[in-house]
C-alpha cells in the first residue's frame, strides 16, 4: 500500500515556475515508478511525466517536454515536478501516481493516487 500527498501548487503568472512535491508513505517507495498527471476542468486526466523506480528513465508528454522535469529522492520518499515557463494551458489539478512499474501513460494502469494539488497559471 502506498499513500501519496501532493504539495506545492498555487497561482503563478505566465512564464513563471512552480515545484510540485509528492510525499509517499511505505518502505518500498524506491521500488515504485512514479508519475504526474493533470486534469483541467471539463477534460480527461492526462499524463504529464513519469520516472522509473531507479530514476534512470524519465518520460514526458510532448506538451511539457523541455519545460518540466521530474525527479525523485528515494531516501526521502519524495518525487518532484519542476515546472518552468508555465502557460495558461498548464492550469489543472496535478496528481501524483505510483505503480510497481512504468507500464504506460494511461491513468487506468496506475494503481495509487494522491488527492491532487491545484496549479493556476494566470495571464
Q: Report in angstroms the alpha-carbon separations of 15 from 12, 46, 57, 67, 70.
A: 8, 22, 27, 10, 18
The pLDDT of residue 56 = 83
46 beta partners: 38
Distance CA 58, CA 70 (A): 7
Q: How crowded is residue 102: how many other Cβ atoms within 10 Å of its Cβ?
A: 19
At residue 39, what are phi and psi to the nearest 5 degrees?
Answer: -140, 115
In tens digits, what is the pLDDT along the chain, a chain of 123 residues?
889 999 999 999 999 999 999 999 976 877 899 999 999 999 999 999 999 988 789 999 999 999 999 999 999 999 999 999 999 999 999 999 999 888 899 999 999 999 999 999 998
Amino acid at each position: 500500500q502506498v499513500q501519496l500527498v501532493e504539495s506545492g501548487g498555487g497561482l503563478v503568472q505566465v512564464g513563471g515556475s512552480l515545484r510540485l512535491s509528492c510525499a509517499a508513505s511505505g518502505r518500498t517507495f524506491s521500488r515504485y515508478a512514479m508519475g504526474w498527471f493533470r486534469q483541467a476542468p471539463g477534460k480527461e486526466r492526462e499524463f504529464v511525466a513519469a520516472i522509473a523506480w531507479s530514476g534512470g528513465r524519465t518520460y514526458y508528454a510532448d506538451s511539457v517536454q523541455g519545460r518540466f522535469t521530474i525527479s525523485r529522492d528515494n531516501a526521502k520518499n519524495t518525487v518532484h515536478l519542476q515546472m518552468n515557463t508555465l502557460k495558461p494551458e498548464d492550469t489543472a489539478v496535478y496528481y501524483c501516481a505510483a505503480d510497481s512499474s512504468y507500464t504506460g501513460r494511461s491513468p487506468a494502469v496506475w494503481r495509487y493516487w494522491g488527492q491532487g494539488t491545484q496549479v493556476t497559471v494566470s495571464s
